[in-house]
Amino acid sequence: MRSANNPTQTQRSMRLVHKERIQNETETMQKSRIIKDKTAEGVMFTLTIISILFVVVMFVGLYLKSAPVLEDKSLWSLISSSEWKPMKGEFGFLPFIAGTLWVTFIAIVLALPVSMFTAIYLTEYARPRVRRFVFPALDILAALPSVVYGIWGTLVIVPLIADKIAPHFVEFSSGYTVLAAGIVLGVMIIPLLVSLFIEVFSMVPQDLREASLALGATRWQTTCKVVLKKTMPGIFASTVLAISRAMGETIAVLMVCGCVMTIPKTPLDSGYPIPALIANNYGEMLSMPLYESALMFAALILFVVVFIFNLLSRIILYRMEKNS
């Protein structure tokens, strides 16, 4: 008589079939996961290539549009000349390059310390109640259209410079200066810088802060010696991003810079940044092909300057991270 503990041939067959079914399902699921992973990898790689191609396509398009003026004038004469007479075919971009550098420099000098100390306060000192109030205010500032900043600059900053600041240094100033443009632009990029700095400071482990405090350091010493030192590459990268953002601002700067085609000698002089040049003269270029090419060359200058600046910053950032 067959023992009850020994499985019958039918039970063994059923177990084998069930085991084979589980193995087949497992293999099918593994193949499906591999296919999904390969598909996701391919899609992300394709999108990455497309993103890179956007930069290349923009550069090629601007260069082709700029080719007529580059064939008519040498590159050095275009960027070193101050003569701007489109009707006579004279296109000197030096005043516009100088105006762009002046406005960007003033904006960064004004915005960087304010943004830095604001971010330090919010991450290291502020109570949660203060953060709940400040963060929405920063979001509102970041969301405001640039034309609102331009109107604010026209109604507040320009009269302030003309009536209160300029009389101490010059006999007369209309207030429409690179200083006004720099102040407006600096206020515009403060929310961006504060958000970037807060994100960078938040990446420092809390254990490092507590270890520094446990050794007897004050909170300010911990901030300077631990937080800022640890996040220096991130601070540098955030500043470069803000500079790139400042160089391309158009409407707000256009409304308060004065739009005078001269090289500014002081912050109280009027200027004419490259973005303002493009925005202010774009409609006139349709009837003059060489004028159109000159404005596209202005856009190409801005593109190349921002690209080179970001490339150099990435190289410096890589060396800083490597040496740290």
Q: What is the largest CA-CA distance in the chain?
A: 122
* Distance between CA atoms of residues 209 and 200, nearest Å: 15
In DSSP terms, 200 is beta-bridged to none
Cβ 260 vs Cβ 271: under 8 Å: yes
- Whole-prediction pTM value? 0.82
Q: How far out from the chain centre does Cα 14 lie?
A: 65
Torsion of the alpha carbons at 14, 17, 18 and 24, rounded to the nearest 10: 180
Distances in Å between the Cα of 61 and the Cα atoms of 67, 93, 96, 154, 297 are: 10, 20, 22, 35, 11
**DSSP alpha helices (H): ranges in 73-93?**
75-80
**pLDDT tens over the chain, length 324 residues:** 444 445 566 766 677 666 777 777 777 777 778 888 888 888 999 999 998 899 899 999 999 999 999 988 888 888 888 888 888 888 889 999 999 999 999 999 999 999 999 999 999 888 888 888 888 888 888 888 888 999 999 999 999 999 999 998 888 888 899 999 999 999 999 998 998 899 888 888 888 888 888 888 888 888 888 888 888 888 888 888 888 888 888 788 888 988 888 899 999 999 999 988 888 887 766 677 888 889 999 999 989 888 888 887 778 777 766 765
* Distance between CA atoms of residues 272 and 102, nearest Å: 10
Q: Left, alpha or beta for 238 (phi > 0: left; psi -120 to 50: alpha)?
A: alpha
* Distance between CA atoms of residues 99 and 274, nearest Å: 7
